[in-house]
Amino acid sequence: MSKKSFTIFIILYIITVTYLAYSTPISPHEARIFYSENGIVNFLMHYGYDIFGGFIGLRIFFLFIGLISIYLYYEVSKIYLNKERDQYLATIIYILLPGMITALVLANISTLIIPLVLIFLLLHNKGWIWLQLVVMAILFLVHNASVIFFISIFIYAIIHKERALSIFSAIFLLLSIITLRGVEIGGRPSGHFVDIFGLYIALFSPLIFIYFFYTLYRILLREEKNILWYISFGALILSLILSIRQRIVITDFAPYVIISIVLMLDSFNKRVRVRLPIYQKYYLIGFKIVIFNLSIVSSIIILHQPLFVSKKHNFTSKIYHPFQLAKELNKKNIKCYNTDKRDMVYQLHFYKIVSCPKYKFK
């Protein structure tokens, strides 16, 4: 892929995700954060909404930060990939992941965490330990589940004998324990192990996740384990272990897992390019099938409005049903509606539809 083609693709991608952020109604998750939670996501949503209004106002800061993370990911890819065309390809695969498209379009904590982790990787590559400390402090303050990151960094620093990094990561681990910040652990074996695989498949697309999981496992057994591998593999394994006993909040783990797409491409290149061209054929065919599958899944998400909005009972109904219901109620000048679904109450409230009062008859 040439630089010109890559630039054109990125421009079209930015236009597409901006339109989706502008036109997609508020999701149940966004509505719950907007009305019932505190924190940085709630603050940025309210601040953006007060300035710009509409759906884009809820997401403007997250969209902007998410677009910055595309550039950061391209810069990180230079650490692991030597050829420019591979860096372009890794970046394109990364931004086409369903989880990344969703993260750019909808307000969520993952959009804020990913660029911080990418900045940390760039600083670590340059050896700027004090700036790494600043990023770790920001992560600690912004993300309650950042303990996942600190565990991985601590293990990496101990194994690779990076004394300063091991001390700093240990400090933040202790602070997480003292302040009771982290992933909530509890419950009993309840069958969520399969569910977490379904969530990861939804974030990556089916074939990409299978190959991604295989790549992390192969690196564990045979290849060099760098800091990015420790971050992603640690978060992935911890999420799988915890899913045996409890339901996992995927946004606690996904930002640390999803960034390792570049390792998948690096591992693939190492296996293919050492072979003669005649023996590369089947690898390249498999690669094209995986990319084609990713393109189909990503296109479904991007084109979900004309494909699914008019149909009931699909993955968009929780977003569009309250929006369409509010439009119908407003046309009839009805300003209240009762539902036992808490998230839907928040969504309708965003459209100025409140819960109806309960009358008591004498």
One domain, residues 97 and 10: yes
Which residues 6+ apart lie within 8 Å of 308 measured at CB? 314, 315, 316
Same domain assignment for residues 325 and 247: no
Same domain for 240 and 318, yes or no, is no
Residues 44 and 89 in one domain: yes
177 and 284 housed in the same domain: yes
264 and 284 both lie in a single domain: yes
The verdict on 315 and 292 lying in the same domain is no
Between residues 41 and 317, the one the model is more confident about: 41
171 shares a domain with 22: yes
| pLDDT at 325 exceeding the cut of 50 | yes
Q: Name the band, by pLDDT with cuts 50, 70 and 90, for residue 362.
A: very low
- Tell me: do 281 and 357 sit in the same domain: no
**Structure-block tokens of residue 148:** 């996942």
Residue that is last in its domain, among 258, 283, 302:
302
Has residue 332 got a pLDDT over 90? no
pLDDT at 360: 45
Based on the domain organization, do 280 and 140 belong to the same domain?
yes
Q: Report the number of distinct structural domains present in the chain.
A: 2
Please tell me whether residues 276 and 326 are part of one structural domain: no
Chain center to CA of 156? 23
Least confident of 14-28, 94-108, 151-165, 320-334: 320-334
| pLDDT tens-digit series, residues 231-281 | 999 999 998 888 877 778 888 899 999 999 999 999 888 888 777 677 778
Give me the domain span that covers residue 356: 310-362
Q: Of 302, 327, 352, which residue constitutes the final position of a domain? A: 302
135 within 8 A of 276, measured Cβ to Cβ: no
Measure CA 189 to chain center: 26
Residue that is last in its domain, among 302, 326, 347: 302
pLDDT at position 271 is 82
pLDDT of res. 106: 93
